[in-house]
Amino acid sequence: MTTTPPHEPPPDAAEGGVRVEVYGIRHHGPGSARAVRRALEEFRPDAVLIEGPPEADAIVDLAADPGMVPPVALLAYAPGEPPLPGDDGASGSDRRAAFWPFAEFSPEWQAVRYALDEGVAVRFCDLPAANQLVPPSPPDDHEHDHGDEREDGDEAREGIRLDPLGWLARAAGYEDAERWWDDVVEHRDGGPSPFPAIAEAMAELRERVADEPSVKGLPPGYLLREEQREAAMRRTVRRALKDGFERVAVVCGAWHVPAILAKVPAARDDQTLRGLPKAKVSMTWVPWTHGRLAERSGYGAGVRSPGWYAHLFAAPDRPVERWLTDAARILRQEDLHVSSAHVIEAVRLAEALAALRGRPLAGLDEVTEAARAVLCEGADLPVELIRRRMAVGERLGSVPDDTPMVPLQRDLADRQRRLRLAPSADARELELDLRRDLDLARSRLLHRLRLLEVDWGVPAESRGRGTFRETWTLCWRPEFDVELIEASAWGTTVAGASAARATAMAAEAESLAELTAVVERCLLADLAEALPAVMGTLADRAALDGDVAHLMDALPALVRALRYGDVRGTGTGPLRTVVDGLVVRVCVGLVPASRGLDDDAARALLGRLDRAHSALALLDDAAHTARWHTTLAALVDRDDLHGLLGGRLTRLLFDVGILTDVPDRMARAVSAGVAPARAAAWVEGFLSEGGLVLVHDDVLLRLVDGWIAALPADAFTSVLPLLRRAFGEFAAAERRAIGDRVRHLDAAPSARRGDDPIDPVRAAPATATVLRILDPEARP
């Protein structure tokens, strides 16, 4: 505990009965949280100042509400204006928001709860969020990179400023800063207060960087912003004393303790803070997750294991025994055999490891090693299960209903309650049956949120059959609150905002395919308000676009929307007119679009042909299907058609029963008079749908086998990449089946040259090569 005596009092503090205590903490530490709570109970302050944005003073009382369950976070955001159609960027232009997270084991949270429980004034004492949510000021001359003038001590001073705990850990002989801090603070319960020693250590470290510290490697404006923050902290202390508080407690990051206690004239701090740019900001509480408190999430003040720290705070007595008991319970839930004897031995091992390593308490490393060796018997997967469920311990907090929210957030919360879709930080699957009104409403809500770029639900491949089923993966992330705030520029309800967003997306779509995707999403989300404008834009764009490729790209999304609209109860009348026109125009323009194509263009058209063919099969319209098949039949006989397309069209028409002379066509396509590259492209196109046709049709298999066997050596080398690509796309089972049938084929006449019998010795290398192509696992 750091008091003003024997340290110099902060500016403007009277020497009478006024006392200012400064508690330097590390954010999110159970030992620090308990120490702060204990120190506050001993000091009995009449005002508590906490590092954080002062705009939160107006809503800090909500922390006492029973509905406020950590982890939670203060969210400051600068509301943006909605973009005009054609503007770049998402709604609200640049995102300007910042979070201040709190867990149950955060010292700041315990300080807030102490103050509210005791009826003590509580304020935040950092630089206002209004000054932080603006671009940083340009660095002064003394902040520029010293370049070649950098001295040997600069690197050390940088390390102290950026990671003071890491420097202290190394000085104490630790390579891991978190392990050192755990040993000296977090794993200790009771004993003398750690705050005087922390303040003394930080004062010493700051002395080392006081003289012209190097800033190479620091973010732009870092030093200036730190000076501004500490000036704001000192000014808040002065205001508290001026307001008549005589016992003031300050809870802040350990690095700032010497700065708060320093004798700095008020005029200097006022000068530092004068004229800072400001943004109009709003402040609220939002749910947070343990996962976002972890270092791996990118959070600057993150900890390695939020779940472990939460456990240490909740179970200060026998934490090792309780942890390993919970781990055993999790493993037993997965039908793994773990007994009480395993737990006892694991506890003994963890404590022995801690003693060997000189640690006051077994830490996460020791209990993990003990669990791996005893409970998991050396297996990695059970250890990963324990890590995921316990070490991180994903948990989503909650905020009271009367927390300030933008209307869009409140509308979503209301719909979540009505539809019984509680947000959760753990990913879970949701199966929907669109024939049920509740599931249909859930589907529409999730699709509308995706239009607002709030991907709470992500569509997954449905395991059921039929168009009336959907599968979603749901996982709530704290950032969604910021995205909802940004999306509120489009409207006050989920339905209204998503409709406005869809209309703007349709106006901004650069291609017909993008526009049709918007139409499909509108139908899935049942946005009747936006659909007329979006359909009008689509009709105008489709009428003016004469590029067959664009029309073919647009067709699948429209057909899906048309086919599934009836299942979802969505009106699709105007869409049918657009689809009818697109099909006719695609059939008319496909033949001229297929002329004179190189390999890349032919491959691109092949993909479009497949997608259009599948879309028309899904549409199941007899007139359109007949028109499409007539177009393909007219195209397949063209002499100037690329071999890849020729083979693919032959296969498509063969599958629907229109072509019956496929063996003759294949014989001509792979005959000796056809260039090997064209023949290989034809075979690749024909087999691009899969190799089952070769498994079930001996005639076609003999033709392919005979053509490959008859290829000259140089021609075989040139077409080998095409063949490998064609056969490489087959499933492993198909390749094995083809290889097995090739082994048992009788010698075909097409595989012979003249009347000479096949020489098995001369044919063996070619046979082995073909078998490897057909099935890499096959042995000749």
Q: Cα 349 vs. chain centroid, distance in angstroms? A: 38
**pTM of the entire structure?**
0.66
Q: Where are the domains of the chain?
A: 2-81+97-288, 306-392, 407-494, 531-638, 661-780
Paired tokens of 426: 């753990």
Contact 224, 169 (CB under 8 A): no
Paired tokens of 25: 């903490």
Ranges 44-53, 314-323, 372-381: which has the least confidence: 314-323
| Percent with pLDDT over 70 in the chain | 80
Within 10 angstroms of residue 360's Cβ, the number of other Cβ atoms is: 13
Ranges 436-440, 492-496, 650-654: which has the least confidence: 650-654
Ranges 169-178, 535-544, 694-703: which has the least confidence: 694-703
In this prediction, residue 5 carries a pLDDT of: 41
In this prediction, residue 487 carries a pLDDT of: 86
In this prediction, residue 646 carries a pLDDT of: 84
Q: How far is the C-alpha of 399 from the C-alpha of 71, rounded, in Å?
A: 10
**Residue 349: pLDDT band by 50, 70, 90 thresholds?**
very high
pLDDT tens column, 721-747? 767 776 766 677 777 777 777 776 654
Comparison of pLDDT for 430 and 671, the residue scoring more: 430
Report the sign of the C-alpha dihedral through residues 256, 257, 261, 263, in that order.
Answer: negative
Alpha carbon of 304 to those of 188, 294, 385, 423, 482: distances in Å? 18, 5, 16, 25, 25
Please give the DSSP secondary-structure letter assigned to residue 79: -
According to DSSP, the β-strands at 457-460 and 469-474 are antiparallel
- Helices H / strands E in the chain, number of each: 33, 11
Q: What would the mean pLDDT of 382-386 be, rounded to a whole number? A: 90
- What beta strand segments (E) does 168-255 contain? 247-253
Q: How far is the C-alpha of 231 from the C-alpha of 225, rounded, in Å?
A: 10
Q: What would the mean pLDDT of 446-453 be, rounded to a whole number? A: 93
Q: Is 131 left (phi over 0), alpha (psi -120 to 50) or beta?
A: alpha
Q: Which residues pair with 99 in a beta bridge?
A: 75
According to DSSP, the β-strands at 469-474 and 428-433 are antiparallel
Residues contacting 40, CB < 8 A, separation 6+: 48, 111, 114, 115, 249
In this prediction, residue 697 carries a pLDDT of: 67
What is the arrangement of strands in the sheet containing 469-474, beginning at the earlier edge strand? 428-433, 469-474, 457-460
Q: How far is the C-alpha of 538 from the C-alpha of 519, rounded, in Å?
A: 8
In this prediction, residue 572 carries a pLDDT of: 60
Reference 377, options 333, 334, 331; nearest CA is 331
**Residue 753: pLDDT band by 50, 70, 90 thresholds?**
very low
In this prediction, residue 564 carries a pLDDT of: 64
Q: How far is the C-alpha of 737 from the C-alpha of 734, rounded, in Å?
A: 5
Contact 33, 109 (CB under 8 A): yes
Alpha carbon of 704 to those of 612, 680, 729, 754: distances in Å? 28, 10, 17, 18
In this prediction, residue 222 carries a pLDDT of: 63
Q: Does residue 377 surpass a pLDDT of 60? A: yes
pLDDT tens column, 209-266? 655 444 445 555 667 788 899 999 999 999 999 999 999 999 998 889 999 998 889 9
Alpha carbon of 328 to those of 331, 380, 470: distances in Å? 5, 15, 36
In this prediction, residue 726 carries a pLDDT of: 66
Q: How far is the C-alpha of 110 from the C-alpha of 114, rounded, in Å?
A: 6
Paired tokens of 180: 């050192």
The mean of the pLDDT values for the chain is: 79
**Residue 347: pLDDT band by 50, 70, 90 thresholds?**
very high
In this prediction, residue 438 carries a pLDDT of: 92
In this prediction, residue 84 carries a pLDDT of: 37
In this prediction, residue 571 carries a pLDDT of: 57
Q: How far is the C-alpha of 179 from the C-alpha of 303, rounded, in Å?
A: 11
Report the sign of the C-alpha dihedral through residues 73, 79, 84, 86, in that order.
Answer: negative
Map residue 77 onto helix, strand or coil.
Answer: strand
| Angle (nearest 5°) at CA 214 between 212 and 219 | 125
In this prediction, residue 235 carries a pLDDT of: 94
pLDDT tens column, 20-70? 999 998 888 888 888 899 999 999 999 999 999 999 999 999 999 999 999
Best-predicted range by mean pLDDT (194-208, 365-379, 451-465, 656-670) = 365-379
In this prediction, residue 651 carries a pLDDT of: 80
Report the sign of the C-alpha dihedral through residues 646, 652, 658, 659, in that order.
Answer: positive
Q: Does residue 750 surpass a pLDDT of 60? A: no
Q: How far is the C-alpha of 525 from the C-alpha of 448, rounded, in Å?
A: 5
In this prediction, residue 137 carries a pLDDT of: 47
pLDDT tens column, 102-150? 999 999 999 999 999 999 999 999 999 998 887 544 444 333 333 343 4
Paired tokens of 284: 């609220």
Paired tokens of 582: 């697109």
In this prediction, residue 494 carries a pLDDT of: 92
Comparison of pLDDT for 63 and 176, the residue scoring more: 63
| Percent with pLDDT over 90 in the chain | 26
